[in-house]
Amino acid sequence: MKVKKSKHVQNYRDGYTPVVRCSLSRRHKVSGPDGEESWCTGVSVAFPQKVDIEQMAISANNATTATPSDVKLVWDVLRTQIIDALSHGHRVQLDGLGSLTMELSSHTGSTPPTGKDVRISGIRFRADKHLLDRLADVKFQVEGKVRQPLSAPELADALYEYFETHDDISVREFARISHYATSTSYQKLNDYVAHGEMERVPRVNGCFRPTKGNFGK
């Protein structure tokens, strides 16, 4: 396989700087190193389109002598090897991009946990410095309005309405409803548990449900 010398292949290193559309999400307080609190505005990428392996295979074909079928075949093999390596507890290093590792948790909260208690909670991606450096000059176009976190009465009303049609709520769904950051939402849900207004759903990580008599239940 060889790299094609084509003027039609646009390269980021040739001075082309993309502009990423992003939207405002929420405002929340953060604590600085000195303990002082300040407001932070959350911003997220708008994701105007999805780039899949089919499109990348065509782009690779335009830049190299590899056919789209070759690229997809190699990707299928690499994907299988990555999953196999993670399943054995290995750390997968993707040169120039970053590394993948398993994140584990004990759902029963036992101390110390047994092997049966431990489950996978997600896959962590740690970006490589080369990747961060290449993206350092990306320009952003911010759109939308800031969503203010709900007040306590507004949040109680929103939860009452939500639990009329749902039995439980995840941290991510709570964050969407309340306009709080994910970390703050998790803390809020734990506060509800501490006050007896909610309980954790057994064997489901990051999921909560109201106790009897709360939020209309």
Share of the chain above pLDDT 90, in %: 40
> 113 vs 116, 117, 123, 163, CA distance in Å?
8, 6, 20, 33
Cβ atoms of residues 63 and 2 within 8 Å: no
Instruction: For residue range 175-187, list pLDDT tens digits in order.
Output: 888 888 788 889 9
For residues 73-86, give the mean pLDDT. 96
pLDDT, residue 49, reads 79
Omega cis (within 30) before 112: yes
Instruction: For residue range 158-208, list pLDDT tens digits in order.
Output: 999 999 888 899 998 998 888 887 888 899 999 999 999 999 988 778 899
Helix (H) or strand (E) run with residue 42 in it: strand 37-45
> Does the pLDDT of residue 8 top 50, yes or no?
no
Number of domains in the chain: 1
> Does the pLDDT of residue 7 top 70, yes or no?
no
pLDDT, residue 12, reads 46
d(CA 53, CA 71): 9
Does 190 reside within a domain? yes
Does 101 reside within a domain? no
Does 177 reside within a domain? yes
| DSSP 8-state symbol, 114 | P
Does 62 reside within a domain? no
Does 63 reside within a domain? no
Mean of the per-residue pLDDT values of the chain: 83
Does 49 reside within a domain? no
Q: Could you list the residue range(s) of the whole structural domain that residue 172 is in?
A: 152-210
d(CA 122, CA 136): 27
Does 216 reside within a domain? no
> Whole-model pTM?
0.58
Does 167 reside within a domain? yes
CATH label of the domain that carries residue 181: 1.10.10.10
Residue 217 or 211, more confident: 211
